[in-house]
Structure formats: structure tokens, C-alpha cells
Chains A and B, each alone.
Chain A
Amino acid sequence: MATIYIDDKPFEVPEGKNLLETCLNLKEDLPYFCWHPAMGSVGACRQCAVTVYKDENDKVGRLMMSCMEPVRDGMRLSIKNQQAKDFRNNVIGWLMTNHPHDCAVCDEGGSCHLQDMTVMTGHTYRKYSFDKKTYRNQYLGPFLNHEMNRCIQCYRCVRYYKDYAGGKDLDVFGAHNHLYFGRAEEGVLESEFSGNLAEVCPTGVFTDKTLKQHYTRKWDLTTAPSVCHHCSLGCNTIAGERYGTLRNITTRYNGEVNGYFLCDRGRFGYEFVNSAARIRKPLVRSQLPEATTKEHALQEAAGMISKGRVIGIGSPRASVESNFVLKTLVGEDNFYLGVSEPDHDLVEFNLRVLRETKAHILSLREVEKCDAVLILGEDLTNTAPMLALAVRQSVRQQPLEEVAALKIPLWQDAAARELIQDKKGPLYIATFNPTKLDEVATEIFNATPAEIARLGFAIANKITGQPSEVNDLGKAEEDLAAQIAEALLLAKRPAIISGTHGGRESIIKAAANIANALHDKGKEAGIMLTAPECNSMGLDMLGSHRLESAFAVMEHGEADTVIILENDLYRRACSDEVNKFFEQCKNVIVLDHLHTPTTERANVLLSAGTFAESDGTLVNNEGRAQRFYQVYPTSEDLQESWRWLMQLGAAIEHKQMLGWSTFDDILPAIVVAHPELKGIERVTPSADFRIAGQKIPRETHRFSGRTSMNAGMNVSEPKPQEDPDSPLTFTMEGYRGQAPSSIIPFFWSPGWNSQQAINKYQEEIGGPLHGGDPGIRMIEKTEQSIGTHFSEAPEHFQPLADHLFMVPVYHTFGSEELSAQAPAIAQLTPEPYLILNVTDALELKLEEGQHLTFKIGELMYHLPIKISMTITRGTAGLPVGLPGVPFAELPGWAILNKDLIWKQKPQAIS
């Protein structure tokens, strides 16, 4: 600790940080542009100047850029000194010379760092009255809007895009005062993390294009803390609504999960909520018109449930609460997890590995700090994008040690990068296909699932020094295994990343073995396993039967009614099987928010709320339970799935559900029924939580149009809806200070209207939020964590004649069900295809783009091929979840047969 004097007041501050960060830590208002907490300092904008004094007798002092100056004990500085204030005022005056007169039509206005800093420095009137420079804009794809006139040349965008996120196609062009930040030529930005530019840019050069289509100022949004539903990582988001539609998603800082950033799938995938394919009213299919009232739909559904045996099918994209209420409603024996066969086993195995491993279960932010990474079977950029971004930071850890050894502070970004150049820490990737992360990898191993698992087992053996469990391992693989083992043993905090997308238990087994072996060698080894969907882990913790058994039960006539919760079964099993299942069901009750092939089969369809219209808890891939809140009030006909099911329970007078009416009634019941989920009731404060007797408002104090927005329909204003499930209000009335970290509806602080207000909510810059980061880990180390050693390394992959071994290929845009419905994401979703090895293609006499007909199970496929040099012979890559690619259990064998004749019809259901 060091003592520094700011304006003659002493402060105890940690050493090693820069002055700007220290001042912001102390909640002082000091303007800055080019500095970013995740990216360090470069001293480019000269905005954060302070006066530093030699000693207490020095009355003159000298100006210094606070972001470039380390804290020294006994240092004296002044933020309020007139000299420094004038300097900052002049700097912003210069930065603003070419800034256009655009605020009124600029999407950044109201959450603009440049506006905030201009006000903070007191640069009230422009002194510059000459001509301004103008620039042509570029088309940058469906996510971002470009308005280059507004640029203040702070370089944050290229530093983020190139240095932090590893993008290649955004750069700075031109010279001296003609700088241009954009692409070499117009086109879609290639990075999956481009959306963060909208938040990184301190002004309106890059803005959210999807928000522009229904533009709303930040102060007019009704916002609530939410959790991203588009992959298993559970990044924290803030969802904003206006006039009944969801308007945008912004980052909700969580020091342990996503930090300052989000991926584009999470940021732009929200528009499915506003989709025309939404189910907004309950439907009863036995009558015309089908749309009906809530009461009638409930009555119909209750009628179906009360006679005969009922089974329930849960969903990994529904909250823990919804699944639990369904499980309670139908009874434990009649509850089935609505996940495909492979996913069921893999997630269950994931959970077992996490519970039993001796290694540390990594959080997303911890991966950034690991200094050696091994990825087994996961194309992270496409399956868990933010994890790929974290891995890109981890490859810098080992080179950064050199920087630290030279006593250069790590936040000296330009100096550190100059020293590091292209040096990368160890990153080993074993996947089926080349991935985007390969460019930063030390070694890449492209092979079949079996070979990847074999390599993994071999590495574990090399680490422990035991004889190899893997039969007839090739020389090349053996050498690679030795190299990887050595690199992992040299590291301090090695990370092993694997997950369910590899499609094989043996790959996860290998990953667990390696992590345990490293732990035994005294390393701070960490393990991270991805899961298929946002609540796959939560659903599995509730535990129950397979989807197959549900089909069997129906086939044997042991049940007649099925309740399907937010699930499209055609994405979980082969369409023939699902069709057969539905034909055997007497009654089908479906709760969902989007029309899917499954909802077509429903007799009663109940309109469930999406994440923006529901409260719930999700358990992410590391077992962290996180709560998402309803963003805006809905009409009576649209409500949370758990509320529908609760009302169904009340209608049939279900004994266990007596007296349940709000969210808080479910949580204690979950803990009683599932002790492993203990702690879920403490994730957020309960609905009766108050600060100074007040709830927390979802709307800002500047929220406008309260007495006018509904006046078009009726000038008499209705009473605002109350929220019985949370300590948040749907209005602007309530406590105005900082809310507890798990219920922060928006980041705002006086003078800080942009996202940068996060600084005021953190215990320290880049650290946890006040009161600790939200979310509670459900999986902690216990005496069960014995680090089970898994044996049974698989045998070599053997190609089969007239067969292709299909491996899954995931896509950031398109593979996930909900986000694929968002128009912006849909624009970037690829057309269906099949990846084929070049020799296989030659043998089949196929050229790129020609169609190949094949059969998986009973289902025929007919897809254009893409030729790959790297995919193993005898295997082929089939995209998962894309529109037009029906479900198949992957990895698995496909039959190639010249007798197969493709007919247009069978592919109707996707």
C-alpha cells in the first residue's frame, strides 16, 4: 500500500496501478478516453492530465497524464488544480474541433462518454468556428452502424478489435489528421465480438444497428438485469424495453463471468422476442378461433391433465423454476428431460466430472489469467464465443511475465505489446476442423473424436509418467502428447477446456484425467467444460429420465397427455420418432414463446414469456446459478411458464403446489427437493427486499413519456403493474442509489451516463462489483472431489466403406435455436452444407457445391459439399441446428448409397 495525496487529502492506495485507475477507484471524477479498464493505457488522448507535485513545498507542479504514471508512495497530485483543468478543457476542445453537430440524431446521445467528458471538463462552448472534416461511412454488416465523422481518434476501437479480440479486418488508415477507422473495403465485420465496439467507442462512430431500427435513448429504456440465453456461459446482460418491445442488450459487468464484453450472438440475438412468430395468446386447437383467454385455456388444459396419466418434458432453455414446477406438477416419475440422447449423457457426465475433479473449476474470467490452455474437441468461437475471447487473453499471460520481469507495469499496453510482439503462450487445440482460434495456437491437432480422446489420454499419461493406456499410439501423436504435457507442466495455471460439443464422453474423460494429473503435480490446474444450452446444467441437476423413455411410455400407452415446456422436440430427436410420439399422444399441451414444429402439434398452446418477460434462474456451464428478471410488464395472456404451470396446479388442486403464487414460493421448494441446488434461494434478494423502504426502479429518473405513451389509446392512466416476484418496480419510483450487485437494472452515476459508469459500481476497477459479483456456484469442492481417474481410452477411428462418420460443426450464428430467429443473426447464418475430405470428394466424383445424398438413421439428407483439406478421411462435418439441417445424433455414421434417390419431400421439418 502507498499513501498518495490528492488535492492535499491522503489516501491509502495499492501500489503498481496507474494514477487514473487509482483516482477512479477512489470514485473521483477524472475524464479519459483512450484508457479502457480491460485494455490498459496508451496515453494517446491526453485527456486525463493531473498536476503532480514534487513535494509539499512545490506549489507549481507539472502536468502528467495520469494513465501513464504509476502510483508512488508519498506522491502528491491535484485533479482540481486550475492548470490541469484548463489543460483538460483545451484538450477536449481540440478533440471536438471536427466533431459534428450531431447529438440530436446520434444513437450514442444520452449514453455517450464524449458527452459526459465534455460536460465534466466544462467545455461548454465551441471556440473553433472553421470548417470541419467529413468522412464517408462504410457498411459494416447487420450489427453495427458506422458514422466516421464523429471520431475523436482515441484508437480504442482498433485496440479492442485487433489487439484484444484478435480481429483482422478493422484498422486505422490514412495519415496525420486524415485518420480513418474502418475496413479496407466495405463489408461485414468478421469478428464475433464486433458488437462490443458500440460500447468501446466513446462516441457514436460505431453504434448498435439493431437498436437503430427501433431507436430509444438509454434514459427511456425500462431495463432489468438479465442473463444471456444463447449459450451455456451465462454472460450477464442488461435488456432494455420501450413501448412493449425489446430494444437492445448491453453488457452487465460481472467480474467473474463476462467482464466488460459480450459476443454478437448474445448482443444481437435478442430480436426473437419481437418476432412475428411469437405466441402472444393461448390457443385451444379444438375450437375456432383458436386464440382464447387465459382462463379458458387453463380450463381446457386442466381438463386434459385431470384425466389419465400425464408426462412432462422439460427444457434446457427454460429456467430451473419452470422445469421444477413442471416436475412437481407431473410428479418425479413422469418428468423427462427434453434433451437429445447424446446431450443427456454428456451433460450428466460433465456434472459428474465437475463434482469429482480435484482441479479448480474455472470461471470465464479466470480463463483469461491461465498461462497454458489445452482445448479438446471444442470449436470455442462457435460453441461458447466468450470463452474463445478469454482464451485469446490467456495466450498473452506467459509473454506478459517477461514484461513484468523488466519491471514494466502490465497496464502499459503499448510498451507491453511492443515487447511481446507476436509471442504467444502455449495453446493447444484438438478439434475436428480448423477453428478461428488456430491462429493463436501453438499446435493444432485436427482429427476424429476418437483420436482426440486418445491424444488426451496420452497427455494425461505423460503428465503422470505412467505407461500409456492408449493402444498403438502413432509416433506423431506421442510426440505431440509429450510436447503438450511438457508445456502444461511448465505453466503455473494450466487450463483444460472441453465440453459436450465434441460429442464424446471419452473426450471429457481425457480432459478430466489431464486436469487431475496436473493437480496432482501441484499445479493450480483448472478445468472448464461447456454445455449445450443456457440451462443444460440446471436441468440436469433437477435430474430425471431420458426423452427416449418418454417416447417409450407413450408407445406402450402408459400415458395419454404430455406437457412440453419451451422445447422443440424436432431439435432433440429424429423427426420420424417425434412424429410417431405425437401421433400416440391423446393430448399435447405445449408452453412456448415462438411457433415451432412442436407447437404445431399442440392441442393446447400456452403463451409463455421469453427471458425478457419472465423471472428465472439459469445454471451455467460452471454450475453458477444466475437470476434473470422480467424486463417489462406483459398482458395477462403472456406469462412465465412456471406461472402457467402453477395455475394449472391450482386448477387441479395439486397438493404440493398449494399456496404457491409467486417466484419466491418456488425457491424453498426447490431446495427441499434438490439439496444439491442449495444456495439458489440466495442468488438474489427476495421480493420483499427494500432499501430505505423502497423497491429498485427499472426506469431511470429521466424516463419520459409516462403520461403520454398510452394516452393514444386512453387518456386515463392505468395504475402501473406491480411486480410480485422481485424487488424491482416497473416504474421510475424507488430507491435511487446503487442496488445490490445482482439487481442492478442499469449503470448510471451522476455525470456518467454511458456504460463507463461501471467504474462507480466496482470495488476496484476491473474487480468485483460492490458486495461481490452476482451468481452463486452450485458446484463446490467436497469430499467427493476425489479426482476419479477414467480409463478406457477409445480405439483408433476406422473408416467404413460406403459410410461417412459425421462430426458436428457449430456456427455462432445459426446453430442456436432462439438467436437464429433474430433478423440480424439470420442474415449471417450460413446455408446448409457438408464438409467433405478432398480425397473422399474425389472418390465420390464431387466438386465443391455439388450435392451429396446420404442417410443418417432413417432420415435422408441432400446437401451441397464444401471441400476440406484437413478433415479426416472417412469423416464429414455436418452443421448443427442450421435451418434446413434436420436433427441427427452426432457424431454418428451416415450411409452413402448410390441407390439413395433424393426426393424433395422428406426434408420438410427442420
Chain B
Amino acid sequence: MFSLLRTMWLTFLHAFHKRDTILYPEQKPILPTRWRGRIVLSRDPDGGERCVACNLCAAACPVDCISLQATEDPTGRRYPEFFRINFSRCIFCGYCEEACPTYAIQLIPDFEMGEYNRQNLVYEKKDLLINGQGKYHGYNYYRVAGMAIGGKDKGEAENETPPVDVKSLMP
């Protein structure tokens, strides 16, 4: 009997408390930057596509909702020919972001993806690619990798010496 009354009293007191719920959608929630929401593909500081189509995000994805096809531009730079995420399957676990060796794929604090038509939840590269670096600034995979691409020849990456002269006998 006492516990019943106590419960009613506590509930009554809540009427005078500060409101915890927010009036979404009029009022927008403040989300931390690490919040795992909609997935984007970012660009490197030079404006090039960061994604090198290595397929690791797709392999890491527990629901297999990422598919892509690698291709190369004439200079040898690899990029995805298509990149598709089926958000109707995505569970926003963030494994793809963890797997990404180039910081290309990132989960951003945006969850407003409601659709009436499920087909609209299939995002292609044009829907995913943003015009910026996203959460991670300053990283450019091809500046670290050894492959020569347009604008970066062999030996011009970070921590690289110029190409070896095979004919030299110097130590």
C-alpha cells in the first residue's frame, strides 16, 4: 500500500521536473560527432575520391549491404566504378568505417532517412559522395601508398626514396 502511494507521489513530482524529451522534429537533437548515422564517402584534401575500392568495407559488413566494383583511371588511380549501399539493410554498426584504410567511408550524425518507398533507401555513389573530408582531415592515402598515380610518381610519396637505379653498384 505504501509503495503504491509512493510511486504515485514520485510520478506526480515529475510534472514539475525539467523536460527530458525534445520536440522532434521542430526541435533538432544535438548529436555527438561520433554518432553512427548515414554513411558518406569523403574526398581527400586534394579533392580526389578517397575510396580506392579495396572492398574491405563490403567484407566487414555483417549484413552484406555494400557492393562496389573497382576500376582504374588511365593514370592508375583506383576508384569505385559503382558503390552501392542498401540502407534498408544497414544496421549502422560502423564496421565499414573501422575497416576503411583510407578514411573514405564515414558514418555521420544524421539519421533522418525515413522513406515511404524502400527502393529509395538504395544509395548509389552519387548519393554517398560528399565534397569534403568528413570527420578525418588531412589524410591522403595515395600520399602514403607506393603506387604511382597521376600527379604522384614513384618515390614522391611520404617516406619514399626516389626510384632505384638498377644499374648503379653504389651501396
Chains A and B come from one and the same complex: yes
B contact residues, total (Cβ < 8 Å): 52
Q: Return the contact of B166 from the options A178, A216, A716 (Cβ within 8 A).
A: A178
| Contact in complex: B169, A175 (CB < 8 Å) | yes
| Contact in complex: A707, B58 (CB < 8 Å) | no
- Taking the closest CB of chain B, its distance from the CB of A212, in whole angstroms, is 7
| Contact in complex: A706, B147 (CB < 8 Å) | no
0 or 1 for each of B128-171: is its CB under 8 Å from A? (1 = yes): 00000000000001001111100000110001111111111101
Q: Return the contact of A707 from the options B63, B154, B160 (Cβ within 8 A).
A: B63
Residues of A within 8 A of B61 (CB): 704
Closest 4 CB pairs of A and B: A100-B146, A705-B67, A704-B58, A104-B54
- Taking the closest CB of chain A, its distance from the CB of B112, in whole angstroms, is 19
**Which of B70, B102, B141 neighbours the largest number of chain A CB atoms within 10 Å of its CB?**
B70
23 sample A-B contacts, Cβ–Cβ < 8 Å, listed by A number = A100-B145, A101-B145, A104-B141, A104-B145, A105-B78, A134-B154, A134-B163, A137-B154, A150-B146, A174-B164, A174-B166, A216-B69, A220-B55, A220-B59, A703-B64, A704-B61, A705-B58, A707-B65, A707-B86, A708-B64, A708-B85, A708-B89, A711-B88
| Contact in complex: B154, A149 (CB < 8 Å) | yes
| Chain A 129-175 residues near chain B, CB threshold 8 A | 129-137, 147, 149-150, 173-175
- A101-B54 in contact given A704-B59, A711-B86 (Cβ < 8 Å): no
- A131-B67 in contact given A149-B154, A150-B146 (Cβ < 8 Å): no
Residues of B within 8 A of A711 (CB): 65, 67, 84, 86, 88, 122
- A176-B171 in contact given A103-B101, A707-B86 (Cβ < 8 Å): yes
- Taking the closest CB of chain B, its distance from the CB of A106, in whole angstroms, is 8
> Considering the chains assembled together, what is the distance between the CA atoms of A702 and B61 in angstroms?
10
A-B pairs under 8 A by CB, number: 138
- Taking the closest CB of chain B, its distance from the CB of A699, in whole angstroms, is 11
Question: Residue B7 at the A interface, CB < 8 A?
Answer: no
| Contact in complex: A133, B164 (CB < 8 Å) | yes
- A173-B124 in contact given A101-B145, A104-B101, A707-B86 (Cβ < 8 Å): no
Question: Residue A689 at the B interface, CB < 8 A?
Answer: no
> Considering the chains assembled together, what is the distance between the CA atoms of A243 and B58 in angstroms?
14
0 or 1 for each of A72-112: is its CB under 8 Å from B? (1 = yes): 00000000000000000000000000001111110001100
| Contact in complex: B84, A105 (CB < 8 Å) | no
> Considering the chains assembled together, what is the distance between the CA atoms of A175 and B170 in angstroms?
9
Question: Residue A715 at the B interface, CB < 8 A?
Answer: yes
Residues of B within 8 A of A702 (CB): 59
Residues of chain B whose beta carbon lies under 8 Å from any beta carbon of chain A: 52-56, 58-59, 61, 63-72, 78, 82, 84-86, 88-89, 101-102, 118-119, 121-122, 124, 141, 144-148, 154-155, 159-169, 171
Q: Return the contact of B54 from the options A105, A149, A707 (Cβ within 8 A).
A: A105
Closest A residue to B167 by beta carbon equals A174
Residues of B within 8 A of A212 (CB): 72
| Contact in complex: B146, A101 (CB < 8 Å) | yes
Residues of A within 8 A of B144 (CB): 101
| Contact in complex: B86, A704 (CB < 8 Å) | no
| Contact in complex: B154, A708 (CB < 8 Å) | no
A contact residues, total (Cβ < 8 Å): 47
Classify the secondary structure of A's interface with B: loop
> Considering the chains assembled together, what is the distance between the CA atoms of A280 and B66 in angstroms?
28
> Considering the chains assembled together, what is the distance between the CA atoms of A149 and B89 in angstroms?
40
Question: Residue A855 at the B interface, CB < 8 A?
Answer: no
Question: Residue A551 at the B interface, CB < 8 A?
Answer: no
> Considering the chains assembled together, what is the distance between the CA atoms of A101 and B54 in angstroms?
13
- Taking the closest CB of chain A, its distance from the CB of B22, in whole angstroms, is 32
Residues of A within 8 A of B161 (CB): 131-134
- Taking the closest CB of chain B, its distance from the CB of A786, in whole angstroms, is 60
Closest B residue to A703 by beta carbon equals B64
> Considering the chains assembled together, what is the distance between the CA atoms of A174 and B169 in angstroms?
7
> Considering the chains assembled together, what is the distance between the CA atoms of A212 and B160 in angstroms?
25
> Considering the chains assembled together, what is the distance between the CA atoms of A134 and B171 in angstroms?
15
> Considering the chains assembled together, what is the distance between the CA atoms of A110 and B55 in angstroms?
10
- Taking the closest CB of chain A, its distance from the CB of B42, in whole angstroms, is 15
| Chain A 667-714 residues near chain B, CB threshold 8 A | 702-709, 711-712, 714
| Contact in complex: A105, B147 (CB < 8 Å) | yes
Residues of B within 8 A of A712 (CB): 82, 84, 122, 124
- A709-B67 in contact given A135-B164, A715-B122 (Cβ < 8 Å): yes
Closest A residue to B154 by beta carbon equals A134
| Contact in complex: B59, A219 (CB < 8 Å) | yes
Residues of A within 8 A of B162 (CB): 134
Residues of A within 8 A of B70 (CB): 215-216
Closest A residue to B118 by beta carbon equals A715
Question: Residue A217 at the B interface, CB < 8 A?
Answer: yes
Q: Return the contact of B145 from the options A105, A130, A704 (Cβ within 8 A).
A: A105
Seed contacts A104-B54, A178-B165; 13 additional CB < 8 Å A-B pairs: A100-B145, A101-B144, A131-B159, A133-B160, A134-B160, A134-B162, A134-B164, A215-B69, A704-B59, A705-B65, A706-B64, A709-B84, A712-B124
